[in-house]
A = this chain, B = another copy of it.
């Protein structure tokens, strides 16, 4: 296509990592809403922690200065079949391994505590066009037995539980929980 020389062309990148990050989140948000509407589970994304510096009370309590804070827990939590559920969603753009810098130390310590208290805690990892439920227990086992700085893709293929995308539901992670935590879930019901 030929543009007149006086009109500035605007380019839109087709690779948008930010939006790719949103996609996994959007698929999980859809599922949470479906589960809530169909009374299957009550699971929400926690609000992003924000440190408010100044508020203009004269203008409807408008926040005029604030900063994003690092979360010390995982992003989603709630209840399913009487069980406490907590998880985080991680997009991995690397095709061969998942860099452990994606998980903060305080998140690992939090995940350990939740498991010790009898909760169900995991990651949802998107990698090579697949979605995996990766149990917190398996993450801890990997960390305790490896000095590697990343988890190889094969590890998810072996240890992870593949999640299905469903047009009506979104990313059907409850099915994944049923699969990954069979004994825990069966004992309860």
Contact A61 B50 (CB under 8 A): no
Answer yes or no: A63 CB below 8 A from chain B CBs. Answer: yes
Contact B80 A41 (CB under 8 A): no
Contact A80 B117 (CB under 8 A): yes
Contact B64 A116 (CB under 8 A): no
Contact A116 B48 (CB under 8 A): no
Which residues on B sit within 8 Å (CB–CB) of A118?
79, 81-82, 188
| A88 CB to nearest B CB, Å | 15
Nearest B-chain residue to A120, judged by Cβ: B79
Q: Tally chain A residues at the interface, Cβ within 8 Å.
A: 39
Which residues on B sit within 8 Å (CB–CB) of A117?
41-42, 79-82
Question: When each residue 29-68 of chain A gets 1 if its CB lies under 8 Å from chain B and 0 otherwise, what string results?
Answer: 0000000100101101011111010000000111111111
| A107 CB to nearest B CB, Å | 13
The interface of chain A, by Cβ under 8 A from chain B, is 36, 39, 41-42, 44, 46-50, 52, 60-69, 71, 73, 77-84, 110, 113-114, 116-119, 188
Using A79-B114, A82-B118 as known contacts, list a sample of 18 further A-B pairs with CB atoms less than 8 Å apart, ordered by residue number in A. A39-B113, A41-B117, A42-B119, A46-B46, A46-B47, A50-B66, A60-B67, A61-B67, A62-B65, A62-B66, A62-B67, A63-B63, A78-B84, A79-B119, A80-B117, A81-B118, A83-B84, A84-B84
